[in-house]
Amino acid sequence: MALRFDVVTLFPEMFAAVTDFGISRRALERSLWQLECWNPRDWAENAYRTVDDRPFGGGPGMVMQAGPLERAIQAVQVARVARAAQVAQVGMAQVIYLSPQGRPLTHARVAKLAASEGAILLCGRYEGVDERLIERCVDEELSLGDFVLSGGEVAALALIDACVRQLPGALNDEASAAEDSFVDGLLDCPHYTRPEVYEDLPVPEVLLSGHHENIRRWRLKQSLQRTRERRPELFAKWLAQRADGTRGLSKEEAQLLREIELQELCGRDNMNE
């Protein structure tokens, strides 16, 4: 089965961002992935289709009720099982709740999800969802970072987009996904295009040389340097993975790191003069 996301959301129209535009739209047209949105209001048990209520214990805001959400999730699971039975595959899907309390989303998690049959994405609103719904129905909580959004839809859109671009055939140039930041644990190198000089700023000469090996080495050095300077925690993780792995640092990586450290020392010495 193709990668499929079933999204439980109060605002299904927001997902036109991935179905109607760009890489994800083209991949959808190529049947590389599927999307269906499920509005929990359709499972509300009152004439006003209410899905939220005041929190017990007081406090500001409203909390999404467990009942409509669980019934929506159950309907999704039934539909997935029925669909999977047609191709003799297991249909129950993992339920992922997009929440600032979840584990940070990483490239490794994206790659694993992209290689699966997808998931049910639960998008909260207001002050969140009833904790009992999480205990009963949610398999995993994922977060985009240590900040709060108005709802889970933006996080779900980011997750979908990140997964879809990993699918074979989604990108016009298959090398693009392989060279993204985080694929090998490092930030991406800087990129340049025409003109060769913009506002007195030239393109690095090595990129104009046509010497592919020198260009590859320059790009690797830039990735190492950028990660070391901008994301020291990511760089430390990359070093630890190299140390724990069977290969360790390659001779080239060790040499480039020595060059970077020497450049930093020289820079500090020049500042002190």
User: CB–CB of 176/185 below 8 Å?
Assistant: no
Which residues does residue 4 pair with via DSSP β-bridges, in sequence order?
34, 118
Verify whether residue 165 is a known catalytic residue: yes
Task: Give catalytic status of residue 45 as yes or no.
Answer: no
Is 258 annotated as catalytic? no
Q: Which of 71, 100, 217, 231 is catalytic?
A: 100
Of 2, 60, 15, 4, the residue nearest 152 (C-alpha): 15
Out of 4, 80, 125, 165, pick the active-site residue.
Answer: 165
Q: Which of 140, 141, 161, 180 is catalytic?
A: 180
- Which one of the listed residues 109, 127, 188, 231 is annotated catalytic? 127
- Of 122, 130, 106, 65, nearest in space to 231 by CA: 106
Annotation says 231 is catalytic: no
Catalytic machinery residues: 100, 127, 165, 180
